Amino acid sequence: MNTTDNLIPRPSHVAPGDGPAFLLSPGARIAAGHAAAQVAEQLAALLRTATGFALPLVEEHRPGDISLELVESFDGGREAYTLTVAEDEIRLTASTPAGLFNGVQTLRQLFPAAIEEAGAAENRDAGTWVIPAVEIADAPRFAYRGLMLDVARSFFTVEEVKEQIDVMTQFKFNALHLHLTDDQAWRIEIHEPAENPSGLPYAKLTEVGGQGAVEVPTAVPPRGNSGFYTQQDFRDIQAYAATKNVLVIPEIDLPGHVNAALAAIPQLNPDGLAKPMSTTSEVGWSTLSVELPATYEFVREVLSQLAAITDGPYLHIGGDEAHVTGHDDYVAMVQRFVRIGAETGKSVVGWNEFAAVELPEGSVIQYWHGDFEPTVRQAEQSGSRVMMSPAANTYLDQKYASDSPVGLEWVEGGPFTWSEYYNWDPAQGGLQDQQILGVEGPLWTETVRNNQQAQWLLYPRAVSLAEVAWSGQEVRNAGDFRRRLGALGERLAQQGVVFQEAPDVEWS
């Protein structure tokens, strides 16, 4: 008999029922109103693959059906849901499709692991699809639960990004931060604007910058992938993400990490000469120039085009590792970039170095390393919120063992496995939960060349982060999480997800 005790992330309340279990039968239907139809269809598609049942969508439910219900208001907010499993029904309730989507991810995990096995329906006996009676009430601790994909060092195609979204969303991640530009490459199309006072060749950003990639001798293959997203590609990723309750946060890294832009646009260089493209994985050696009017013209054009195609409220402007930018120049430039960003109507996000400037209300500081105090102070003074990505608890590019074929190893305390990414509390340094937007795990890709290598670094550590971000401290427990991870193993394997079989976990 399968259990209601293996859910990841762990829900706020799980009350096992004492009544008989639910059995999904071949005649079952999925009942949902119009507004819930998309989620209902996603659930149906998932269950049809493994069960071979027809599972038609209907409006009115009868005994034996799964029903999805939208209600006016709901304790716990827009992403909360309740899930009731009883002998004669499964009922999922939320106030938004996002809440229903989250509930569907829980329901997926309540079915026996065979639910992940496609094409084996004819070998199943009638009693396979059983779920014990249970009442679940669940809501996220944090509104933002993200992963970051560095598509600059090595490019990921639209299809690859969608595949990553498919895997991450079963753990209720709801944000994907795309690191679109860096020293090695520029990955987002910027159109030639109608007004272009300095005649900056924006098309070169992707013509030249899109060809770039990192080169690291130990990576396989050593050179990263080239490519770029047209604005239509970006919209396509974003629209797909939205069907799975994922918000896309685009990043243009400024004023450092800009060599690809300096190589594409000669006017961004004080001597007016384009820089050569670079494949090195060194960081902190390039900068925009504080005194050039073209710098601000460029940033305004790029950020406004990006804001125009971005559905979500956030625009990430980088700000990290500007080691060759003088401090005063850094503050002067980033102060202007922050204003330009805010003028697009978006909330500006930046790596924690950018807390050195005055931030407009609604800004978000992504803390990754160094002194935490300026971040906390800004959060208190400007009302900015904090996105927690402390390197030693969230950096998914780090090796989980020194002999790992992929990954980097520079964060102190490493290498890191599932437990370092589980055993921490985002509320630290005096920050309260309300000041924390959420948690994000960045995947830098100096050594990553495809989704398999990415997954190998992501899983199961991203699963740890999913629980840190979703579940309250009071329901979290490392020993119990380790047990649940073990049970998750066969599901990931059935899905074809590559993951690290941490030796201290009993994998199913």
Active site residues: 321
Rg of the Cα atoms in the chain: 24
Which of 397, 420, 440, 467 is close enough to bind ligand TNX by CB under 6 A? 397
Tell me how many residues contact ligand TNX (CB under 6 A).
9
State which residue, 203 or 410, has the beta carbon closest to ligand TNX: 410
Query: Does residue number 283 form part of the binding site for ligand TNX (CB under 6 A)?
Result: yes
CB of 280 to ligand TNX, least distance (A): 12
Can you tell me the distance from the alpha carbon of 16 to that of 136, in angstroms, rounded to the nearest whole number? 8
Residue 393's SS3 state is helix
Which of 31, 115, 379, 408 is close enough to bind ligand TNX by CB under 6 A? 408
Residue 386, both tokens: 């904090």
Contact 245, 98 (CB under 8 A): yes
State which residue, 66 or 148, has the beta carbon closest to ligand TNX: 148
CB of 42 to ligand TNX, least distance (A): 34
State which residue, 101 or 368, has the beta carbon closest to ligand TNX: 368
Query: Does residue number 440 form part of the binding site for ligand TNX (CB under 6 A)?
Result: no
Query: Does residue number 129 form part of the binding site for ligand TNX (CB under 6 A)?
Result: no
Single-letter amino acid, residue 292:
L
State which residue, 81 or 368, has the beta carbon closest to ligand TNX: 368
Query: Does residue number 247 form part of the binding site for ligand TNX (CB under 6 A)?
Result: no
Which of 79, 321, 420, 440 is close enough to bind ligand TNX by CB under 6 A? 321
State which residue, 301 or 397, has the beta carbon closest to ligand TNX: 397
Residue 196, both tokens: 């272009």
Quickly tell me which residue has 């437990």 as its tokens.
419
For residue 112, is the peptide bond before it cis, meaning its omega torsion is within 30 degrees of 0? no
CB of 446 to ligand TNX, least distance (A): 6
Contact 96, 77 (CB under 8 A): no
Query: Does residue number 400 form part of the binding site for ligand TNX (CB under 6 A)?
Result: no
Can you tell me the distance from the alpha carbon of 352 to that of 387, in angstroms, rounded to the nearest whole number? 9
Site string for ligand TNX, 354-393 (x = CB under 6 A): --------------x-------------------------
Residue 473, both tokens: 């401290």
CB of 321 to ligand TNX, least distance (A): 5
State which residue, 101 or 337, has the beta carbon closest to ligand TNX: 337
CA nearest neighbour of 145 among 73, 249, 236:
249
Query: Does residue number 330 form part of the binding site for ligand TNX (CB under 6 A)?
Result: no
Which of 298, 351, 367, 499 is close enough to bind ligand TNX by CB under 6 A? 351
Contacts of 128 (CB under 8 A, 6+ apart): 51, 112, 114
CA 215 to chain centre: 25
For residue 9, is the peptide bond before it cis, meaning its omega torsion is within 30 degrees of 0? yes
Can you tell me the distance from the alpha carbon of 251 to that of 444, in angstroms, rounded to the nearest whole number? 13
Query: Does residue number 424 form part of the binding site for ligand TNX (CB under 6 A)?
Result: no
Query: Does residue number 320 form part of the binding site for ligand TNX (CB under 6 A)?
Result: yes
Can you tell me the distance from the alpha carbon of 178 to that of 443, in angstroms, rounded to the nearest whole number? 10
Query: Does residue number 444 form part of the binding site for ligand TNX (CB under 6 A)?
Result: yes
CB of 210 to ligand TNX, least distance (A): 19
Q: Tell me the HSE value of 210 on the side-chain side, using a 13 A CA sphere.
A: 16
CB of 413 to ligand TNX, least distance (A): 14
- H or E segment at 489? helix 478-495
Residue 158's SS3 state is helix
Contact 490, 113 (CB under 8 A): yes
State which residue, 420 or 446, has the beta carbon closest to ligand TNX: 446
CB of 1 to ligand TNX, least distance (A): 44
Residues that bind ligand TNX (CB under 6 A): 283, 320-321, 351, 368, 397, 408, 444, 446
